[in-house]
Amino acid sequence: MRIACLLVPDLPLHAELRASPELNGRPLVITSGPGTRAETIALSREAFVRGVRAGQTLPQARAVCPDIEVRVASPVLERAARETLLDIALSFAPRAELVERASGPFVSEGAVYVDAEGIEALHGSESAFASVLHARAERLGIRGFVAIASSRDLARLVARHLALSLHREHWERREDREAPEPEVTRILAPEDALAFLSPLPIDLLDPDDRTAQALTRFGLQTLRDLLRLPKRDLAARLGPALLDLIARVRGEGRETPLAEPLVRSLEEGLDLDAPIDNLEALSFVFRGLVSRLVERLSLRALGCTELRTTLRLENGARESRRIGVASPCQDERVLLRLLRLDIESRPPTAAIEGVTISSEGVPLAREQLDLFRPRGPSPRELDQTLAELGVICGLERVGTPGLVDDHRPGRFTLKPFGKDKPRSTGEAEWDRSVPRRPRLTLRALRPPSRAEVRVERGRPVSLQSAVSRGEVLTASGPWRTTGQWWSDSTHYAVDHYDIQMSDGTVLRLCFDWRTKWWQIEGLYD
């Protein structure tokens, strides 16, 4: 089995740089929290060469580098960056596994495993694959190290070694411009594994505190020292945890195949430095979020069909919104326009302190046009139009009208447009030889308009309402409709009249026997 590990030693730093690319090239530190006692957990190369070190407090860092940029570690950004690693891995192979967050000195590390078995058939060699994997991560603003070995732990150990040892050395040789570029990829053949690992420090294994203290007490510094000692005696003195460490170094652990992750939910978020209360500023925030979301969607060849937005407001409230995108979409402009329209249509109740957008990725659909249908909008364009109309008027107010098998007045349905195949196929069913004649058409009043009706001998003779008022010249009816008599809540009994008013309007009037109300349901027009 061959497994590649893409490892990012300073994930909080890269998470921040993904969201704020303008900080690239600036001395930047990420602190574990707000306040002066928070420690630096990640720092940029520019901060390192100015003398800042991980573990320093903010005042200590400012003492050596007064113009340093400081950001508090954001769990939202870090989670998105961590998931981006998985997306990068899945853009190469269907089997990938995100490494759980480590603790101790490797807390800011992010890593993902990719199935590299047989990968040379696609990329020529494992080395070429490692370079491509590294380059793709770097293109997304994540600088990592790639190692390929015969097990998860070995690959991770090698990548960690590249990151901690060679990378730091390169940073410290900052003045030496002739120095070679640091090695960012390494392929470890199974037969070379022990030779390569032997001189590495034991700390790379990230042993727990008790084991680490014991190993230091015994004077064990490198993996070679550890491997020389008899396993059983060591385990008897230091506990079974040490056996696990040795097995990991020797590659003797049980190596299960990587699983195919089913998670397709993508999320990007941002906590704002200051609350935003205008659309223009918010548009910039949305642009960054959507851009990163679309990048990740395109990595996995997925599209977005529904944008879920969560706004964290200044007054402590949270607003969740759903914006439908009718067909899988990767178009940044379309998604941005939908977000903007949504905010315009339903402005938040207070200034915004944080934004999260998420989407369920679905495979992109191919457009299939039809030679036997008339010209119409392309499916993608139609879907975008429908999505925008849904944002403007509300999804429940846009669609295809449908009839309901129900005698109650004013019943209809509104189905999503274009989901059902039209009944007719076009010109073939269009018979020009039969001339059409206009047919009585009702203009519905929603809701029906209340009316005051004077009745004589059971017939309406005059009417007062907001729609029409005056004498009833002619009345036709009543036509009674009743139903659902077995249920108190849904029982209906209505008398309908078609009446012609003295002002020329022809109305459909009804009397509801349950409420005893006269109402105008609509006008014939």
Partner 1 sequence: VGAARRIRPVRRSRPPQAGPSKPATRSDALEALLVDLGPQIHRGAAASQEEAAKAPSFLPTGLPELDARLGGGFPSGRLSEICGAPSSGRTALAHCLLSETLARGLLAAWIDLADAFDPASAAATGSDLERLLWVRARSEDEALRSCERLLRTEGFELIFLDLARAMRPEAGIRDVSWLRLARLAASTRTTLIALSNLSGLSGSPKTSDSSQVPVTGSRAELVLEMRSRGARFVGPPSLLDSLETSALLRRHRSRPDGAEISLSITADPS
Q: Which residues bind partner 1 (CB under 8 A)?
A: 369-378, 381-382, 385-386, 388-389, 392-393, 397-403, 412, 414, 417, 420-430, 435-446, 449, 466-468, 474-477, 498, 500, 503-506, 522-525
Q: Which of 157, 163, 152 is nearest to 42 (CA)?
A: 163
In the complex with partner 1, which residue's Cβ is closer, 156 or 508? 508
Distance CA 242, CA 225 (A): 13
Distance CA 469, CA 447 (A): 18
3-class secondary structure per residue, 179-192: CCCCCCEEECCHHH
Tokens in use for 399? 């669609």
In the complex with partner 1, which residue's Cβ is closer, 37 or 415? 415
Distance CA 127, CA 151 (A): 17
Q: Name 189's Cβ contacts closer than 8 Å, sequence gap at least 6.
A: none
Residue 397: CB minimum distance to partner 1, A:
4
Concatenated DSSP letters for 18-82?
HH-GGGTTS-EEEESSSSTTPBEEEE-HHHHHTT--TT-BHHHHHHH-TT-EEEE--HHHHHHHH
In the complex with partner 1, which residue's Cβ is closer, 254 or 421? 421
Residue 460: CB minimum distance to partner 1, A:
12
Distance CA 263, CA 82 (A): 14
Q: What angle do CA 504, 509, 515 make, to 5 degrees?
A: 150
In the complex with partner 1, which residue's Cβ is closer, 252 or 471? 471
The secondary element (H helix, E strand) that includes residue 248 is helix 240-250
**Crossing angle between the packed helical segments 209-217 and 240-250, to the nearest 10 degrees:** 80
Distance in angstroms between the alpha carbons of the first and the last residue of the chain: 76
The secondary element (H helix, E strand) that includes residue 215 is helix 209-217
Distance CA 7, CA 66 (A): 31
Residue 467: CB minimum distance to partner 1, A:
5
In the complex with partner 1, which residue's Cβ is closer, 201 or 379? 379
Residue for token pair 């990163």: 292
Residue 14: CB minimum distance to partner 1, A:
39
In the complex with partner 1, which residue's Cβ is closer, 219 or 435? 435
In the complex with partner 1, which residue's Cβ is closer, 262 or 428? 428
For residue 4, which amino acid is it? A
- Please state the separation of Cα 280 from the chain's center in Å: 22
Residue 524: CB minimum distance to partner 1, A:
6
In the complex with partner 1, which residue's Cβ is closer, 261 or 409? 409
In the complex with partner 1, which residue's Cβ is closer, 236 or 444? 444
Residue 495: CB minimum distance to partner 1, A:
14
Q: Name 468's Cβ contacts closer than 8 Å, sequence gap at least 6.
A: 501, 503, 505, 507, 520
Residue 523: CB minimum distance to partner 1, A:
5
Residue 345: CB minimum distance to partner 1, A:
8
In the complex with partner 1, which residue's Cβ is closer, 271 or 331? 331
Residue 254: CB minimum distance to partner 1, A:
50
In the complex with partner 1, which residue's Cβ is closer, 97 or 388? 388
Residue 511: CB minimum distance to partner 1, A:
17
Distance CA 350, CA 318 (A): 10
Residue 515: CB minimum distance to partner 1, A:
20
